[in-house]
Amino acid sequence: MRLTLLTGSVSGTADMVADAAETRLTDAGLAIARLSGANVEEFLASAPEAILVVTATTGMGEVPDDLLPLQLELNDRFPLLTGIPFGVIALGDSSYDDTFCQGGRDMRNLLLELHARETLPMLELDASETVNQDEDAIPWVVEFVAALGR
């Protein structure tokens, strides 16, 4: 199964979480296409059979710059991803009340609008609660792998 891993990170925490997830997913036999700063053509060319988004939130509640162009293009071009299983790991900080994990929420909503199928409720990793986001993500990733039937 081909899985496209989309990352959005400013200072590297989401990238670390994506590293940990990628190891587990590869161990489970998935073929990973990891994209950062991709455009919609590159995303579609990866021909995803499953999608994992790992993204921080920045600015006023946006996804980081390495994910933003793809988010905007997906919104514009609206390529349907009907039935493709996906999951989102959202990194944020609950001290940003109103926009806590907003980047991940927006990506989740976008994928649902494109008719992708959420296989596991979104994981929220709160920087006010943990500094081990990569370790904390592992149980969720294990469940995600199982939900993909691997």
Ligand X SMILES: Cc1cc2nc3c(=O)[nH]c(=O)nc-3n(C[C@H](O)[C@H](O)[C@H](O)COP(=O)(O)O)c2cc1C
Contact residues for ligand X, defined by CB under 6 A: 9-14, 56-59, 61, 91-93, 96, 99-102, 127
Residue 53's contacts (CB-CB under 8 Å, 6 or more residues apart) are 6, 7, 8, 67, 86, 87, 88, 89, 104, 107, 108, 111
Minimum distance of ligand X from residue 25's CB (angstroms): 19
Asked if 62 contacts 90 with a C-beta cutoff of 8 angstroms, the reply is no
Minimum distance of ligand X from residue 91's CB (angstroms): 4
Minimum distance of ligand X from residue 64's CB (angstroms): 6
- Residue number with CB closer to ligand X (18 or 84): 18
Beta strands in 9-141 (DSSP E): 31-35, 50-55, 85-92, 117-118, 123-126
- Residue number with CB closer to ligand X (23 or 99): 99
- The residue nearest ligand X at its CB is 92
Minimum distance of ligand X from residue 47's CB (angstroms): 27
- Residue number with CB closer to ligand X (26 or 132): 132
Minimum distance of ligand X from residue 101's CB (angstroms): 5
- Residue number with CB closer to ligand X (54 or 84): 54
Coil, strand or helix at 18: helix
What helix, strand, coil percent values describe the chain, rounded to 5? 40, 25, 40
- Residue number with CB closer to ligand X (39 or 130): 130
